Amino acid sequence: MLAVTLDDLIKSWLIDLRGRNLSAKTVSTYGGVAERLVAGLPERCVKNAAEISRDELREYFARIAQTRTPGGVSVDYRALQQFFKWADEIEEEITPNPMAKMRPPMVPEPETRVLRREEIKALRKACEGRDFKARRDLAAISLLLDTGVRRAELSGLLSEHVSIERREAYVTGKGRRSRIVPFGYQTARALDRYERVRKAHKNAHLPGY
């Protein structure tokens, strides 16, 4: 049986991921993880993917843990779990799966700092004004504070996904899962004022305006 290089196997895996209609961001993340693996393994493993052993992978994760955050190592671990499972169960190129029964890295719970009341007031004050940018920024800040949506969810929000009358927005989050988030009167007023000034903007027809 001819040796399959790690590079070729990764290319096939990324094609498979795209064929499963995963988001471009997910495929890009997995591609970056795979590139780091190629750079971090001995040349013999790169030339013949079937030679990758559990010990090689343990050493690899130990090395990247010295320069990456626990969360970053965890992302790599989860992505490579999927890769080696695919390479074993679907393609039968790396059998047995060297990551089978490996223990994932420990990831401590991150401490999320909450904005103080005076910081929120200062943030809103920085958005004061009647021009396009001021009203856009205040609408965005108000929506973030009121609903807790993620930054990516906010940036992907279109005007037709927001109902100021019903005070709710339709957002699409991670994994392309969608949900409706309600917001209060103050945010509705900020969105209404932004919508009025937005209609007169020359780029109103473009996403992000």
pLDDT digits (tens, 9 = 90+) for 23-80: 888 999 999 999 999 999 999 999 999 999 999 999 999 999 999 999 899 999 999 9
Q: 75-114 burial string, b = 16+ CB within 10 Å, else e? A: bbbebbeebbebbbeeeebbeebbbeebeebeeeeeeeee
Domains of the chain: 6-90 (1.10.150), 117-199 (1.10.443.10)
CA distance 187 to 135: 11
Sheet strands (E) in the chain: 162-163, 168-172, 178-182
On the question of pLDDT at 207 being above 70, the answer is no
Stretch 144-165: mean pLDDT, rounded? 89
On the question of pLDDT at 209 being above 70, the answer is no
Stretch 142-164: mean pLDDT, rounded? 89
On the question of pLDDT at 1 being above 60, the answer is no
Q: Locate tokens 């103080």: which residue?
A: 116
**Residue-averaged pLDDT of the chain:** 90
Q: Locate tokens 């961001």: which residue?
A: 25
The distance of Cα 205 from the centroid of its chain, to the nearest Å, equals: 27
Cross-strand partners of 182: 168
